[in-house]
Amino acid sequence: MNIFVCIKEVPDTEASLQVKDGKSINNEGLKWIISPYDEYAIEEALKLKEKLGDSTVTVISVGSERIVETIRKGLAMGAEKAIHVHAENTLDNKIVAKALSEAIKKQDDYGIIFMGKQAIDDDAYLTHIYLANYLNIPVATNVIKFEYNDNKAIVEREIEEGAREKIEMNVPCVVAATKGLNEPRYPSIMGMMKAKKVQIEKYELSDIGIDDNNKVEVEKLYFPPEKPEGKVLEGELEDVVKELVRLLKDEAKVL
């Protein structure tokens, strides 16, 4: 099977962010990673390849020249092929999904497309569903369990109140991963060596007929107001707990 994994480069979760020009984050000195949900997607793709044999895992990402390094991290985890859709400007979710769909359509054939349920920068939770719609294939979001049998993807997705939906989809389809699906592997030294040698297939937006007319524009990016420092209650535990309940009732009025 030709398995695809869509990934997005994001700032490291540990990074302390700074806003530049009021509209974007300051990239200087930032460490970049594969969005954590996309790492679950890569892991699941690799597991499927190992199960099926005779399969290829291709990572695909849309972004600037900088993301090539992040794409190589995906290769180092064990993907064999990579596609880079080059776009220096930030694109809205729909355009990204269209670009992904057009680049994937250029390939001979595609089976399951894995990706994270959202990227941890804009937290949009849209691209996977848009992609499936543009390819006219089924999609399961928020997937915590994945199996493949008889050319069908059988997944469990988290819904509300701790419940899960078990879904069966024909292949090709899009599977959007959430935390708990698996434990992503670390790239091996061997994997990193191999990754360096892979020729990344590159498309410009114009090659795949994509206009970059964003319908969503960032007007302002800013820090939320700080919470004022609270108070630590002191004294014997019994008294402190009584005081807390009183404060929650009378002062904060949340009980």
Of residues 180-209, those binding other proteins (CB under 8 A): 180
Compute the least distance from the CB of residue 6 to other proteins, in Å.
Answer: 15
Of positions 48, 78, 142, 205, contacts other proteins by CB under 8 A: 142
Compute the least distance from the CB of residue 194 to other proteins, in Å.
Answer: 28
DSSP type of residue 208: G
Instruction: Give the list of residues 6+ apart from residue 242 with CB closer than 8 angstroms, or none.
Output: none
Compute the least distance from the CB of residue 127 to other proteins, in Å.
Answer: 9
Instruction: Give the list of residues 6+ apart from residue 26 with CB closer than 8 angstroms, or none.
Output: 17, 18, 19, 20
Instruction: Give the list of residues 6+ apart from residue 173 with CB closer than 8 angstroms, or none.
Output: 112, 113, 132, 137, 138, 139, 140, 153
Q: Which stretch binds other proteins (CB under 8 A): 42-50, 65-73, 105-113, 134-142?
A: 134-142
The pattern of x and - marking residues 17 through 46 that bind other proteins according to CB under 8 A reads x-x-----x----------xx---------
Residues 53-82 that bind other proteins (CB under 8 A): none
Of positions 30, 68, 120, 208, contacts other proteins by CB under 8 A: 120
The pattern of x and - marking residues 93 through 112 that bind other proteins according to CB under 8 A reads -x------------------
Task: Using alpha carbons, list the distances in angstroms from residue 82 to 34, 57, 68, 221.
Answer: 14, 8, 10, 32
Compute the least distance from the CB of residue 45 to other proteins, in Å.
Answer: 19
Burial of 61-98, coded b for 16+ CB within 10 Å and e otherwise, reads bbbeeebbebbbbbbbbbbebbbbbbbeebbbbbbbbb
